[in-house]
Amino acid sequence: MGSPASPVFADLVLEILEDEVIRKLKFKLPFYVRYVDDILTAVPADKVNEIKTTFNSYNQHIQFTVDVERDQNISFLELWCIRDGRSIKTDWYHKDTWSGRYLNFKSHLPTAYKRNTVTLLAEKILLLSEPEFHNKNFELLRETLAKNMYPNGLVECMIKKAHEKFTKNGDVKPIKEKLPIAAVPYVKGLFEKLKAICKDDVMLDGKGDNTLKKSIFSRLKDPTPKLHCSHLVYCIPCSCGYKYVGQTLQLLKDRIYQHKYNISIKNSNHSALCDHAITNNHTPLWDKVKIVVRESQQKKRDILEMIAVKKTPNCLNKHTDCIILSTAYNNVI
């Protein structure tokens, strides 16, 4: 649970399961459709328990339940499947728990997100439901989006464009090749200007920072203790008020130990901190060490260290530590 590989392994297990189980059945399945662990198929009425038992006998930890059609209707994901003679009609389906809540039009996110919400729902209706159900589904869509504060004009415009995307045979027209995508925090006004500037080179994706994860849910894991962090830029103050900035890919506690050891053996060449402490007989305040920034990439960490040296008042570091820092960073500092 929680691993990015979990869905892949789950799908592989189910592929093996269905291959072996279907081979054992003593009757043929007219059709068989699976999405993750949801399966839609057709079996003779007197074989329902048999197929359920066969699937559940594969592994005691993988157990299936069965829903049978009622009045020749059954749901599958967002489809409402209707048996009509020897064919099946489909309609857009909502569970009883469906709230009708989508991205609110008043939310602080790019307008493109809101247009896409309407477009995706309209295309879902066109893809999932038969033409005879389109009118009622679009009416439901209009009512639902109105409750989510969407202007009627925008909704009608997006629905019209969704219709235009479909060819006569109901297929969606090929999508043009997409540009690279970069996610940046959304700031109304600024984001739109940046997107217009970068439109030919990169597609900017505005992300909001007011999420449920940030405002409601706590961390699942305890934070790593400061001294057990690695790949970082750090700052150690001295008892005289001066400060030393350094970086390490080791654990911070190991780096501090190296400073302490070199001070104890009077090795002033180890670092500017050691030189200062030995020359002036000062004591670094080891318990007040601070993490300036964490960065796993060495080159980025080098730049961040130089910026930190420039920004730190009363810094012990030698001027040569920042000699290669580009003047392009002056505005950042």
Using one digit for the tens of pLDDT, what is the confidence trace for 275-284? 999 999 999 9
DSSP per-residue codes, 150-196? --HHHHHHHHHHHHHHB-TTSPBPPPPPPPPEEEEE--TTHHHHHHH
For the beta carbon of residue 107, count every other beta carbon within 10 angstroms.
Answer: 13
Contact 326, 256 (CB under 8 A): no
**Average pLDDT of the chain to the nearest whole number:** 85
Digit-coded pLDDT (tens) for 136-190: 999 999 999 999 999 999 999 999 988 888 755 555 555 556 778 888 788 888 8
Is 210's pLDDT higher than 60? yes
Predicted TM-score of the model (pTM): 0.56
326 versus 53: which is more confidently predicted?
53
End-to-end CA distance of the chain: 43
pLDDT-derived band at 327, boundaries 50, 70, 90? low
Is 265's pLDDT higher than 80? yes
pLDDT-derived band at 212, boundaries 50, 70, 90? low
Digit-coded pLDDT (tens) for 33-46: 988 888 899 888 88
12 versus 220: which is more confidently predicted?
12
Digit-coded pLDDT (tens) for 295-325: 999 888 888 888 888 888 889 887 665 666 6
